[in-house]
A and B are shown apart, each in its own frame.
Chain A
Amino acid sequence: MSGWGKKRESSNGSSREEDKLIVTPLGAGNEVGRSCVYMSYKGKTILFDCGIHPAYSGMAALPYFDEIDPSTVDVLLITHFHLDHAASLPYFLEKTTFRGRVFMTYATKAIYKLLLSDFVKVSKVSVEDMLYDEHDINRSMDKIEVIDFHQTVEVNGIRFWCYTAGHVLGAAMFMVDIAGVRVLYTGDYSREEDRHLRAAEIPQFSPDVCIIESTYGVQHHQPRHTREKRFTDVIHATISQGGRVLIPAYALGRAQELLLILDEYWANHPELQNIPIYYASPLAKKCLTVYETYTLSMNDRIQNAKSNPFSFKHVSALSSIEVFKDVGPSVVMASPGGLQSGLSRQLFDIWCSDKKNACVLPGFVVEGTLAKTIINEPKEVTLMNGLTSPLNMQVHYISFSAHADSAQTSAFLEELNPPNIILVHGEANEMGRLKQKLMTQFADRNTKILTPKNCQSVEMYFNSQKMAKTIGKLAEKTPQVGETVSGLLVKKGFSYQIMAPDDLHVFSQLSTANITQRITIPYSAAFNVLLHRLKQIYESVEQSVDEESGVPTLQVHECVTVKHESEKHISLHWTSDPISDMISDSIVALILNINRDIPKIMDESDAIKIEEENEKKAEKVMIALLVSLFGEVKVGENGKLIINVDGNVAELNKESGEVESENEGLKERVKTAFRRIQSSVKPIPLSASVYFVS
C-alpha cells in the first residue's frame, strides 16, 4: 500500500507541475527592443516574437536564447515586421536547434524579407559579428508559414489566431489557447485608427493572461489632429525660413503614415509645391506593391479609395546622399529612425550645426541611440567621424508612433479584464508607473500585474478540469452514481473521449484489429490421448466435428480450437489475446510432450546418470548462492561447507542442513539461507522428501 501512496503523491506533484504556466521574457522585459517572450504550459512551448535590440550589434543584440532549449519550442509567432520584433528570426531558424513552426501574417512576411535584407546590408558590423546573411534570410522564408487575421490554426493541440493590432501594416495580436487557457500577446498595438490602418480589435474572448506592451507608460498621446498640426506647422515654419527638415524614421510603418500627411498638406498648400520632399528609402519603394496589395488589413478608407493613396504626388525618392542636391530648403525623410548610422545620420551630421534647420523625431526613440540623446538638446554632439560639433538645429519630438498610450491601455484592459497582466516592451521606469496606475485601476478586482525582467520567469497555475465526452455504444444510457464505466479513453490534442472499442473506428481515424492465428503441429498419436490430457488441465473442453472438413475438433477454454487435420498433423486456431496465447502455448507444449512421451524407452543406467548429474548441478548452484550471500565458502574435509564471515566460522551439513557455529546469529542466518536455497533448487518436497529420506 505504501507504494500506492507514494505513486499518487508524486503524480499529484507532477500534475501540479502540469498546471503551471510559465512566462519568461527573453527580451523586452523592462526594456524596449529585442522582443521575445517565452511561454510554456502543459508541455507546450510558444515563443512570441524574435527581435533584436537596435542599440546593440552582433550577439549582444539578441534576446537571451541561452535560457531556453530552442528544440523544445513548438510554435513561434511573429507579430509584425519591425526589427525589434522579427530581426533575430533568421538567426533563430538557421543557427539554433529550433525545429518548430513559425507563423506571421501575409503582409508581415512580404515586408520581413525586404526589411531584413536591407538590415543586413546596412548594418556595418564586422563579418564575425554578423548574425546571419542574405542566404539565411532566404532560407528562413521557406520555413515561415502564413496566417490570416482570425484564421484559427492548430499545432500539436495549441490553437491560436490573431487580431488586427493597428501598429503597422500586417501587425497582429496573437491569442493562444492551450487546453482552454487563453493567453493574449498584444505585440505593439494601437487603438487609434489613422490614415491607413485600422485600430486594434478588442478580442471577443477575455484571455486568462494578457502580455501587453507598455512602451508609453503613463503618457498620453495628443489627439491625432493636434499632432498632425504641430508636425506640419514645424515643417512649414522651417522651410519658410529657408531651413531643411530632417525626419529620421524607420523605413516602414510610420513613414507611410507621415508621407500620407505630407503629401496631403502639400496638395492643400500650392505655395509649398516647389519645395521637394524626399523619401530616402529604396526599400520603401520596393514595399509599395505590398502596401497596394494587402489592403484588406487596412481601414475602409484605403479599401474604398479610388486611386492608390500610396502613389505620392509630391514625394520623390532619394537613393543615396551622393545624388542629393542640397540647395535650399527641403524635407527629407530618411532611415534609420534612431540616427545610428545610414542616410539619416549622414544628413544629421551635415545639418546639425545650422540653427535654421530642424529635426523632427516622429516615433519612439530607443534608449542608447543618438536620437534619444538629442531629445535632451545637448550643446554638442559627436559626429560619425568622431569629431564633435555644436548642436544648433531645432529638435522636435512629435510622437506619431502607433503604440497605445496610457488611456488606450487602461481602456483596452478594462474591456478585456484579464486576471493576469504581464507588462513587457517598456523602459523600467515607464513600466513601473504604468503598473502603479493599473494597480489602482484594478484594485477592486483580483488582478495580478507583473513586470518580469529579462529571464525572470512568472509562474501561474491554472487548474483545468479535464472533461471527457462519452460517446457511442458506451453512452446509450447515462450511468448512475456508483456504476462503473469501462472503455477506451482517447485523447486528441486536449480533448478526451470515452468509447467502446467497437466504436473506435467510428469516432477516430484509429482502427482495431483481430489477429487470427493458425498453427500446424506434427502429431501422430491418437486424438483421444490429447483429449484426455487436455481434460485433465482445462475445465472446458468441448468435442465437435468441423463442419467443412469433417475432422474432429476440440474447443478448449472457449477460445482455442484444436483440429485433427490428418493422421500426422493437428492445427490450432485462435484469436490473439494474452489469455488465448497462453492457452495455446500450453496446448502446444502438451502436444509436444505427448509426441515425446509415447515412444520413449530409457536405459536404467542412463537414468541414474542423469540423476547424479542433476545432483551435482544442484550442489554447484547451492555453493554459488552461498558465496553470493556470505562471501568465503569452502568445502571442508568431511564434505561439510565451511563458511567464514569476518572470522566467525560456521559449518554446514549440506545433506541435512545442520549448522554448527559459535556465533548464534550467523548460525541462524545460514540455516535460513540454506532452507531457502534448498526449496528453490531441489524439486518440490512431496516426491523429494521420499528421495532424501531414503
Chain B
Amino acid sequence: MGTSVQVKPLCGVYNENPLSYLVSIDGFNFLVDCGWNDHFDPSLLQPLSRVASTIDAVLLSHADTLHLGALPYAMKQLGLSAPVFSTEPVYRLGLLTMYDQYLSRKQVSEFDLFSLDDIDSAFQSVTRLTYSQNHHFSGKGEGVVIAPHVAGHLLGGTVWKITKDGEDVIYAVDFNHRKERHLNGTVLGSFVRPAVLITDAYNALNNQPYRRQKDKEFGDILKKTLRAGGNVLLPVDTAGRVLELILMLESYWADENLNYPIYFLTYVASSTIDYVKSFLEWMSDSIAKSFEKTRENIFLLKYVSLLINKSELDNAPDGPKVVLASMASLEAGFSHDIFVEWGNDVKNLVLFTERGQFATLARMLQADPPPKAVKVVVSKRVPLVGEELIAYEEEQNRIKKEALKASLMKEEESKTSHGADNTTSDPMVIDSGNNHTSPEVAGPRGGGYRDIFIDGFVSPSTSVAPMFPCYENTLEWDDFGEVINPDDYVIKDEDMDHTVMHIGGDINGKLEESAASLILDTKPSKVVSDERTVQVRCPLVYMDFEGRSDGRSIKNILSHVAPLKLVLVHGSAEATEHLKQHCLKHVCPHVYAPQIDETIDVTSDLCAYKVQLSEKLMSNVLFKKLGDYEIAWVDAVVGKTENDMLSLLPVSGAAPPHKSVLVGDLKLADIKQFLSSKGVQVEFAGGALRCGEYVTLRKVGDASQKGGGSGAQQIVIEGPLCEDYYKIRDYLYSQFYLL
C-alpha cells in the first residue's frame, strides 16, 4: 500500500487566521508553519497546544508573522521541541520579524507572551536548507525526504516538498508565479502529479491588473501627494514584501529624478537590509545577472534611508516624505504612531500595499467606504518616577530576596542529595542542563555576553540569560573523586576570536540600542496609554502588492499540477468553497477542505510494490523515447531473487496478446502544422480539422480533467474511401507510439 498521509489543520482554515497545519507521513508528524496574528491571541493556538509534544519536525514557509509568529511561544509554553527547518532568509528575516514584533509590542504594552531570549532559543533549533536541497530524515522518519523550493512570495519563501517512497506531498501556500523585481516566480508548476497538494484559497477570488500598469499608478499617486506637500505612509511588514516596495521606489525615484526623502522605519531596518544584501543567491535571476555584470549590490540603497527610531524621523527635515513603517496591520509599531499623527491631515496619504489581517486597524480602514473616525489606543513607555519608582524597587528587592532564599534552599537540597547515591543526583544534572534557558541562574560570563545576547542573531551556545546571579556549581563525584569535565580546560576558540579579532558577535549593536534601551534597560518603566479618536481625513488607498498569484493563475497552476488529491486551507469560507467547487470540476475528483482539528486521510489509494527487473528481461525490452520518458510494453513472469525480492523474468514461449495502446499527446494545432509540412491542405472548420478535400479530424470528449475518467484522448478521423484517407491516417499514426 502507499504511504499514509494525514492532514489536520490546527489554525487557518475557512478564514484568514494564521497558518498552522499538522501533516503526518507514515506516523511522522510535520508541523507546517506555525503562525500567529498581530493580536497574539493565545486561544488561536489551542489546537496546536494539544499536539505540540507529538511533533517530529517543523517546516516554515515564509518569514512573516502569519507563518512563523507562534514559534517562540510554542517552543516555550506549548512544549514544542522538534527541529525546525527553513531556508536561510526565512531564518534570518523571520528572526528580525519577531524582534520587530516584540520591540513594537513591548513599547506599548506589558508584553509577556515571549521574550527576546525565547525568540533566540526558538530560532536556534532551525536547520537551514537551500532551495532544492534534499534533507533525509533518519530514525523515526527514515525514508522521508524534504526539500524547499521557490515560492516567489517573500524572500526565501518556500514550497515544501515532502517525499516518501516516490510519493510527493507538496505544501504550497502564498506562492507567486510572476517574476518580480527581487524574486523569481514559483517553481510549483514544475511539479507534476504529486500525490497530495496542500494549498491556500486566500486569493482565489482576487484578480490583479497587469503589473506595469499597477507600478505606474503606484508611482503616480505617490508623486501627486508629495507634489501637493503631503506625506505618504506605507504600512509594511518587517522584512517581506517591503523589499519589493523598496526596489520599486528606488527605480521609480531614479527614473523620475525625484529627491523627496524615503524612510524605511522598523526596529530592525538596517540589519534587515544588511542581511538582504548577502541573500543575492535567493533572489531573481536578473538580480544575480546584473550583479555579475556590474558587481553592484541592488540593495545598496540610494534613495531610501534606514531608520530604527522614531526620533530620527522626527528630526528629519520637514517637507513631504515617504515612510515605510511596520507593522502592516497598524496595530502596533511605528506605522501605528505615524498614522495617529498624520491621519487627520487631508494632504497626507496612507497607501496600503497588502490586505490587513482580519479585524485589525488596517483592515478597518480598508473597508469601503472608509470610516470617518477610528478609535485608537496610544501607548507610551515612560520611566518610573517618584513613588512608583520606590514601590517598584521595593517589589524588586522582595523578589530578589525570595529568589535568593529559593536558591539557598536548593543548594541545601543538593547537598543532602549528594550524600546519597548517584541516582539521586540525576535531577540536579537535568537542572544544570536547563541553565541555558532557565532565567534563574546566570553563569560567570553572563555580563560579558549580555550585549551580544540582546542583539544576538546567533546567541553563542555558552550564553545564559542575564539574570540574577546564582552559582549553582554542584560537584559530581564518582569513585575517583570529582568528575572532571575536559571541556572546562579547553580554551574556547570563540572566546579568542571575540577578543582578538573584534569581529564576532555584536552585529547590529549600532542599531536597536537606543530603541531597545528603554525595554531592555533595567531602568524601571511603565506603559501609559490613552484612547484617542483619530479623524481620518487623509485619503486611504489600497493597491495590491501582496505578491501572490491571483485567482485565475491559481486555477491555471492547479490544473497544470493536477495533484491526485488536493487539500485547501487558509482563505475565507467563501473563497475556499469557490476554489473547492472549481477544482472538483476541473482539477481532480478528490478535493478536501477540512475544518480545524478535523483529521483527513489523504493516503493515496494507490497500490504499489517493488520488483527487480532481471537482466534477461531488460535485454529484450525495446524502449521508445517520448520526451523525458522512455516507454515499452513488458510481459514477464514473477520470480524470486536470492534475497527474497520479487523479480521479473521473461515469459517463456509466446507472450499473450494484449490490447494495443497508443501513447502520445495529440494537439490539433501540432498535427495541422505537421500535415501542412507534408503538403496536405489543412484548415480548422467548426472545431474539426479538415485535411485535404474530404477527410476530417476531430477530438471529442472533455480532456481538460486530467484526474478523472478514462483519461484517454478520443480522436475521430472520418472520410470517404480514398487514397487521402489512408495517407492522413498514416500521418496521424506517426504521431503516436503503438505498444
Q: Is the interface of A mostly helix, strand, loop or mixed?
A: mixed
B485 interface hit (Cβ, 8 Å): no
Asked if A488 and B633 make an inter-chain contact with CB atoms under 8 angstroms apart, the answer reads yes
Chain B residues contacting A476 (CB-CB under 8 Å) are 607
A304-B504, A490-B629 given as contacts; is B615 within 8 A of A485 (CB)? no
Chain B residues, Cβ within 8 Å of A161: 133-134
Within 8 Å by CB of B295, from A286, A467, A506, lies: A286
Q: Nearest chain B CB to A42's CB is how many angstroms away? A: 13
Given contacts A151-B130, A293-B280, A491-B630, contact A511 B713 (CB under 8 A): yes
Contacts of A522 in B (CB 8 A): 721
Tell me the residues in window 478-534 of chain A with beta carbons closer than 8 Å to chain B beta carbons: 478-493, 495-496, 498, 501-502, 504-522
- A288 → chain B closest CB, angstroms: 8
**CB pair A505 B281 closer than 8 Å:** no
Q: Is A385 an interface residue (CB 8 A)?
A: no
What 0/1 pattern do residues 175 to 213 of A give for CB contact below 8 A with B? 000000000000000000000000000001000000000
Q: Is the CB–CB distance between A483 and B638 below 8 Å?
A: yes
Contact status of A152 and B278, CB under 8 A, knowing A481-B640, A510-B626: no
Is there a chain B Cβ closer than 8 Å to A681's Cβ?
no
Query: Any chain A CB within 8 A of the CB of B637?
Result: yes
Chain A residues with CB under 8 Å of B664's CB are 510-511, 513
Which residues 602-653 of B have a CB within 8 angstroms of A?
A: 606-613, 615-616, 618-621, 623, 626-640, 646, 648, 651
Select which of A114, A152, A578 is within 8 A of B132 by beta carbon.
A152
Stretch at the interface among A8-16, A422-430, A608-616: A8-16
B288 adjacent to chain A (CB < 8 Å):
yes
Is B552 located at the chain interface by the 8 A CB criterion?
A: no
B295 adjacent to A289 (CB under 8 Å) = yes
Q: A294 with B280: in contact, given A152-B134, A204-B136, A510-B629 (CB under 8 Å)?
A: yes
Q: With A296-B88, A492-B628, A520-B721 in contact, do A512 and B662 touch (Cβ < 8 Å)?
A: yes
Q: Are B711 and A106 in contact (CB under 8 A)?
A: no
Q: How far is the CA of A493 from the CA of B280 in the complex (A)?
A: 31
Does B661 sit at the interface, judged by CB under 8 A? yes
Q: How far does the alpha carbon of A286 sit from the alpha carbon of B293 in the complex, in Å? A: 11
- Which stretch in A305-313, A360-368, A411-419, A450-458 binds the other chain? A305-313
Q: Which of A292, A471, A473, A491 contacts B631, CB < 8 Å?
A: A491
Q: Cβ of A475 and Cβ of B629 under 8 Å apart? A: no
Complexed CA–CA distance, A292 and B721 (Å): 75
Distance in Å from the Cβ of B686 to the closest Cβ of chain A? 16
* Known interface pairs A301-B504, A505-B706, A511-B664; A481-B639 also in contact (CB < 8 Å): yes
Q: Given A15, A150, A296, A471, which contacts B618 in the complex, CB threshold below 8 Å? A: A15
Complex Cα spacing A161 to B729, Å: 47
Distance (whole angstroms) from the CB of A74 to the closest CB of chain B: 14
Contacts of A516 in B (CB 8 A): 714-717
Residue with the highest number of chain B CB atoms closer than 10 Å, among A477, A486, A507, A512: A512
| Given A106-B288, A306-B506, A479-B646, A484 contacting B638 (CB threshold 8 A) | yes
Q: Residue on A with the closest CB to B661?
A: A501
Task: In the complex, identify which listed stretch (A90-98, A141-149, A239-247, A626-634) lies at the interface while the others stay far away.
Answer: A141-149
Q: Are A468's CB and B627's CB within 8 A?
A: no
Q: Does B732 contact A (CB under 8 A)?
A: yes
Determine the distance from Cα of A493 to Cα of B166 in the docked complex, in whole angstroms: 14
Partner of B662, one of A150, A301, A515: A515
Determine if B611 and A293 form an interchain contact, defined as CB atoms under 8 angstroms apart: no
Contact status A306-B292, CB under 8 Å: no
With A469-B608, A481-B640 in contact, do A109 and B634 touch (Cβ < 8 Å)?
Answer: no
- Taking the complex as formed, is A445 at the interface, i.e. its CB lies under 8 A from any CB of chain B? no
- Once A470-B610, A489-B634 are accepted as A-B contacts, the answer to whether A484 and B656 lie under 8 Å apart by CB is yes
Q: Which residues of A contact B278 (CB under 8 A)?
A: 292-296, 303
Indicate whether A511 sits within 8 Å of B665 (C-beta atoms), given known contacts A466-B612, A489-B634: yes
Q: Which residue of B lies closest to A149 (CB)?
A: B130
Q: Closest CB of chain A to B563's CB: distance in Å?
A: 11
Q: What is the bound-complex CA distance between A583 and B304, given in angstroms? A: 79
Instruction: Decide: B193 and A508 in contact? CB cutoff 8 A.
Output: yes
CB contact between A484 and one of B606, B609, B637, B660 (< 8 Å): that residue: B637
Q: Does A465 contact B (CB under 8 A)?
A: yes
**B contact residues, total (Cβ < 8 Å):** 101
Q: Once the chains bind, are A306 and B636 in contact (CB under 8 Å)?
A: no
Check if B663 is an interface residue, CB within 8 A of chain A: yes
* Contact present for B719 and A576 (CB under 8 Å): no
Q: Which chain A residue has the least Cβ–Cβ distance from B621?
A: A489
Chain A interface size, as a band, is 35 or more
| B609 with A141: CB separation less than 8 A | no
Q: How far is the CA of A478 from the CA of B609 in the complex (A)?
A: 7
Contact, CB under 8 Å: A475 / B608? yes
A15-B618, A489-B632, A577-B659 known; A294+B666 contact, CB < 8 A: no
| A290 contacts across to B, CB distance below 8 A | 295
Cβ–Cβ contact A519 & B503, under 8 A: no
Min CB–CB distance A449 → chain B (angstroms): 29
Interface string of A311-342 (1 = CB under 8 A from B): 00000000000000000000000000000000
B721 touches A296 (CB 8 A): no
Q: Are B281 and A150 in contact (CB under 8 A)?
A: no
Contact indicator B621/A467 (Cβ below 8 Å): no
- State whether A509 and B634 are in contact (beta carbons under 8 Å apart), knowing that A471-B607, A520-B719 are contacts in the complex: no
- Asked whether B611 lies within 8 Å of A468 as measured between CB atoms, the reply is yes
A110 touches B292 (CB 8 A): yes
Note all chain B residues with C-beta closer than 8 A to A465: 612
Question: What is the chain B residue whose CB lies nearest that of A287?
Answer: B295
Q: Which residues from chain B contact A294 at a C-beta distance below 8 Å?
A: 278, 280-281
Q: Assess the A506–B133 pair: CB atoms within 8 A.
A: no
Contact A470 B504 (CB under 8 A): no
Which residues 448-462 of B sit at the A interface, judged by CB distance below 8 A?
457-458
* Distance to closest chain B CB from A636 (angstroms): 46
With a 10 A CB-CB cut-off, give which of B129, B636, B713 has the most chain A CB atoms.
Answer: B636
Cβ proximity bits A116-129 to B, threshold 8 Å, 1 near / 0 not: 00000000000000
Q: What residue of chain A has the Cβ atom nearest to residue B458's Cβ?
A: A304
Contact status B608-A151, CB under 8 Å: no
With beta carbons under 8 angstroms apart, the residue of B503, B508, B636 that contacts A485 is B636
Measured CB to CB, the closest approach of chain B to A677, in angstroms, equals 33
- Does B639 lie within 8 Å of A148, measured CB to CB? no
- Determine the distance from Cα of A594 to Cα of B166 in the docked complex, in whole angstroms: 59
Is residue B655 contacting chain A, with contact meaning CB distance below 8 A? yes
Verify A578–B738 contact, CB threshold 8 A: yes
Q: Does A552 contact B (CB under 8 A)?
A: no
Does B470 make an interface contact (CB < 8 A)? Answer: no
B674-709 at interface with A (beta carbon < 8 Å): 706-707
Which of chain B's residues 499-545 have a Cβ closer than 8 Å to chain A? 501, 503-510
Q: Which of chain B's residues has its CB closest to A518's CB?
A: B718
Q: Which of A15, A151, A300 lies in contact with B133, CB distance below 8 A?
A: A151
**Bound state CA distance, A138 and B610, in angstroms?**
49
In the complex the two chains form, is B609's CB within 8 Å of A502's CB?
no
In Å, the complex CA distance between A690 and B635 comes to: 50
Enumerate chain B residues within 8 angstroms of A511, measured Cβ to Cβ.
Answer: 663-665, 711-713
Q: Is A153 an interface residue (CB 8 A)?
A: yes
Cβ of A264 within 8 Å of any chain B Cβ, yes or no, is yes
Chain A residue contacts of B368, Cβ below 8 A: none
| B296, CB-defined interface residue at 8 Å | yes
Residues of A contacting B736 with CB < 8 Å?
A: 513, 515
Closest residue on chain B to residue A295 by CB atoms: B278
Does B133 lie within 8 Å of A152, measured CB to CB?
A: yes
Contacts of A472 in B (CB 8 A): 606-608
Contact partners of B265 in chain A: CB under 8 A: none
Which residues of B does A touch, CB under 8 Å?
A: 88, 129-134, 136, 147, 166, 192-193, 277-281, 288, 291-292, 295-297, 457-458, 497, 501, 503-510, 564, 606-613, 615-616, 618-621, 623, 626-640, 646, 648, 651, 655-656, 658-666, 706-707, 710-721, 725, 729, 732-733, 736, 738-739
7 contacts between A and B (CB under 8 A): A12-B619, A146-B281, A300-B458, A465-B612, A486-B634, A488-B632, A510-B629
Shortest 5 CB-CB contacts between residues of A and residues of B: A11-B619, A150-B133, A505-B711, A305-B503, A475-B607
